[in-house]
Amino acid sequence: MQMKLLQDRIRKDGKVEKGNILKVDSFLNHQIDAELLDEIGKEFHRQFADRGVSKILTIEASGIAIAIAAARYFRCPVVFAKKTKTLNIAGDVYTSKVDSFTHKTTNDIIVSKRFLNAGDRVLILDDFLANGKAIFGLSDLIRQAGAELVGAGVVIEKGFQEGGKKIREMGVDLRSLAIVDSMDPETGVVFRDEE
């Protein structure tokens, strides 16, 4: 189920740029509207409350605030995959490769084996879904850990790109709070009708 409050905010403050870029940096992934973020966290909890989520997994940086907002309601830790190995990640790690649609780069994502374990019931959360590479990479980390992927949630899905379709075909229960069917710098954003 899509979130009308979010759709209205995207229509009001989202900016469409060439190259299928939707900028929501005034309220979601640069400057953050904390009240809207709290409503997003509540909505993800409402949609996945019956899954027995023990950890939320996301990727730095834009997914972190979203995951934390939801984790307050799930009462579980957030683990975020780092895009570079740092000195504070010592020892064994899980790694996967992720191509970024927005940044046109490939990153190795890393999670310490201490924080993702067999027996964990993991919910993936992120801000955008375009080609699905972040969710594929995060689900690979979950598989490596022997944990269970219980669902994936994204704030905004670009429904005109293939990522959502591919993830759903994998059997992942993917929920998107706003599905954008088309974007044009002249006409704005068009959302998918409720199904």
- In this predicted model, what pLDDT tens digit does every residue of 34-75 receive, in sequence order? 999 999 999 999 999 999 999 999 999 899 999 999 999 999
| Structural domain harbouring 168 | 4-188
In a domain, 193, yes or no: no
- Domain count for the chain: 1
What pLDDT was estimated at residue 75?
A: 98
The CATH code of the domain that includes 120 is: 3.40.50.2020
Name the region of 20 (left: φ>0; alpha: ψ -120 to 50; beta: rest).
left
pLDDT at 137 over 50: yes
In a domain, 69, yes or no: yes
175 vs 105, higher pLDDT = 175
In a domain, 195, yes or no: no
Which residue is it, tokens 């939320």? Answer: 56
In a domain, 194, yes or no: no
- pLDDT tier at 195 (50, 70, 90 boundaries)? very low
80 vs 101, higher pLDDT = 80
Residue type for 81, please? Answer: A
The Cα–Cα gap between 176 and 151 comes to 11
Average pLDDT estimate for 84-107: 76
In a domain, 26, yes or no: yes
Average pLDDT estimate for 69-90: 86
Average pLDDT estimate for 84-109: 77
% of the chain with per-residue pLDDT over 70: 92
